[in-house]
Amino acid sequence: MTAVIHPNFNEHTLDAIPQANGLVVICVDAAGSFGPSAKRVNRLMKGTLKRFADTDIFERMAEGDVQRFPAPLGLAADAVLLLKMKKRPAVEVARKCGAKIAKEAGTAAINLFVTANSRAAQLAFGITLRRYRFDAHKTIDLADHGDVHVFITNVEKSKQEYEQLSAVSEGVFFTRDLINEPANILTTTEFADRLLDLKKLGLKVSVLEEADMEKLGMHSLLGVGQGSTSPSKIVIMEWNGGGKEKPFALVGKGVVFDTGGISLKPAGGMEDMTMDMGGAGVVAGVMKTLALRKAKANIVGLVGLVENMPDALAQRPGDVVKSMKGDTIEVINTDAEGRLVLADVLWYAQKTFKPTGVIDLATLTGAIVIGLGHENAGAFSNNDKLVNNFLKAANAEEEGAWRMPLGAAYDKLIVSRIADMKNVGERAGGSITAAQFLQRFIEPEMPWMHLDIAGVASVKTETDFAPKGATGWGVRALNRFISDVYEA
């Protein structure tokens, strides 16, 4: 797994500046006023920084913009990075500033001189998130990321603030690694083994095998994986950090590879279907974060792990399967498999744990990407309080989410001639009918939210906090949601 390079917080000293290797970072506010560190660097560079701060170029720089000065005279560093930032920036600005520093630094060591800046931990968090790199399967020599040193006057306070953030970055990296892994490596068995390894953090982890699911009547889930040699599994992760109250449940779709089954996908882009277990990846990352930071809440995470392959034994369009709930489903399209997986896991979660609420996450539909692009996940809910609390948390973490509609009229689109329902409707409203399907497996009065993360789990271009590929979207937002609502 990708190692997280956590920063070292050091007592601020100007004497460290001349000898620092790699990249030296100093901050200058919008007025161009220099603090002690910037003054020392400017003096060592014979006034270069001050001359730059007096130019129109500096004036046009936005907060968070950086200017690189390579091979600075008077310093051992390879470069000096001037960061334009207020003395007390907003949290989200500080994080983005940190991410820009990390991007500019590449693999070089980072020496961040911030004196008494109260956002030092947030700057460091941004650096940590952006320094992710998935190279587990590269054999060429790659330079290791250098260490990160933050020089600050209030060392202990910054360390304590970062400690909670470090658990989040560990969870984000875990999610990104899972989503980035190729399907021949991350089989259903390997996925389950990686989650079982979380026991060492204090999580209770158990696995339902196919025989267990047969006894429970989970034929909706089992039908999806019957064409694969990889066994279908459900992994249950329990974190009991609260009192005696019932847990809140997180449920994730974990299709480790999705060919579409008999309803085969086009070849172009099928390689991206290694990320179809993104919902399960997010749930796993959140559970790891909660365990690492010893969250004072009871949370259970359940993930359905399957592989959707075409085979002589594979499920066919037109088949009818019975769910654990007892409802029958006509399978119109075997490529609408995620909802079949979630149906049984959602029902099992409610019947087994009697949760106070449920959030499911899935890379469920291409339709949500058409509607919301890659900026927002689609949020569907039967409970205003639940969805509003989550959207507040997601907004605070700058992880985009947008509420989508539900309604009885959409139910008519999944009426089956021969079964209780069919697994797809028409093309119109595809993400909504998928959510309506899932809602049929939610008990009356159960607060529930479905997050369709197909557009945000993995992207083709870099984001503020991640290189292209898996983003880790949702770990930060769900962790904050749990902290705000269940630990407040």
Question: For strand 328-330 and strand 320-322, is the pairing parallel, antiparallel, or unpaired?
Answer: antiparallel
- Residue type at 336? A
Q: Which helix (H) or strand (E) holds 342?
A: helix 338-353
Output helix, strand, coil percentages for the chain, rounded to the nearest 5.
40, 20, 40
Q: Calculate the alpha carbon distances from 132 to 107, 170, 470 in Å.
A: 11, 11, 10
Catalytic status, residue 296: no
252: phi then psi, degrees, rounded to nearest 5: -125, 140
Separation between Cα atoms, residue 186 and residue 275, nearest integer Å: 10
Beta pairing partners, 458: 470
- Residue 260, sorted as left (phi over 0), alpha (psi -120 to 50) or beta, turns out to be left
Separation between Cα atoms, residue 452 and residue 379, nearest integer Å: 7
Catalytic residue among 103, 157, 194, 265: 265
Nearest C-alpha neighbor of 482 from the set 411, 397, 414, 401: 397
Q: Which helix (H) or strand (E) holds 155?
A: helix 155-180
Q: Which helix (H) or strand (E) holds 483?
A: helix 475-486
The single-letter DSSP state of residue 34 is: B
Separation between Cα atoms, residue 2 and residue 470, nearest integer Å: 13
**Count of other CB atoms within 10 angstroms of residue 31:** 9
Catalytic residue among 96, 176, 288, 339: 339
Nearest C-alpha neighbor of 186 from the set 281, 268, 101, 104: 281
Catalytic status, residue 157: no
Alpha helices in 11-76 (DSSP H): 36-44, 48-53, 56-60
- Residue type at 397? E
Enumerate the active-site residues: 265, 339
